[in-house]
Chain A
Amino acid sequence: MPGSFDYGVWIVCTLLEACVVVSALRSNSLSRYFFLNIYMGLSFLASVGRYLVISRSGVSSMEYAYFYFYSDALLTIGLYFALLNLYSLVFDEMKVGRYLKIGAVVLLGGTAWFSYAVINQSSHRILSHFAFELSQNLYFVGLILTYVLWGAILKLRETRARLIQLVLSLGVYFSAFAADYALRNLYPNLQGAFHYVTPMLGCILPAAWTFSFFWVNEEARLAPSRLATVSR
């Protein structure tokens, strides 16, 4: 059973998810960052649903396991669309929206096909295992896409402060979970410490996005760190 620390972190995380949507509403950014807010709204609803299932059936019940993994697959798809939302904002001046849509469909379809191919060989509970596998695979796709987007932001010399902050916080979020996974495997004797660290990582993204929507103005620009010099 989760302890008071786990419940405390979970409540903070859930409140921060709601704060993201409220902050976006307050700064009139809901339509511009529509899928980011859809994702945060879904995360909030999933947290409430998970709590209801835990309080009724317990954390080690099959009901909670299935609810958790199905809702996780839904949330990961939501995160994928949130990432595409950021892509469309970064590339909006290049008028490549049509190509982004083609790429997104191919990538999502390819990931779904790969997930099905893996579980088709190994499982008889195809639907639930598929949701789990798709969620895991989309996590890695999201990780790669975030780094690619960061590379594009550097290459295009993007200066919109809020957009940069949203992308960077997503990169930190993905990287933190990857680092946590790697360290858990490298140091299995430190499971006690990771029990406290891993849930807190879930608060990084809602906290950073709340900060971005609440305190960083849409019109804010980052000053270039250095000027390009041209030899004469």
Chain B
Amino acid sequence: MSRKLSVILLAMLALVGAMSLKTVAVAHGDGSVIMANGGAPVPPVPWK
């Protein structure tokens, strides 16, 4: 049981770290998007 809880804790820590990193990146960015899938041209975001 404690191993399962440890895994959940580690997953939540990774999530918090990733979301904090994203918040910092977006807060200091110009609003452009980070797309890391292939070489296709990135279109303008339609809902901004």
Contact = CB atoms under 8 A, between A and B. Distances in A.
Contacts of A59: 41, 43
Interface residues of B, number: 34
Contact of A6 (B4, B25, B41, B43): B41
B36 A140 contact: no
Nearest to A1: B41
A57 to B, nearest CB: 10
A14 interface: yes
Given A103-B7, A140-B18, A140-B21, A13 B38 contact: yes
Contacts of B43: 59-61, 64-65, 68-69
Given A132-B45, A137-B19, A185-B28, A199 B39 contact: yes
A106 B40 CA distance: 31
6 contacts: A60-B44, A106-B12, A107-B14, A107-B15, A181-B25, A182-B25
Interface of B: 3-4, 7-8, 10-12, 14-15, 17-19, 21-22, 25, 28-30, 32-47
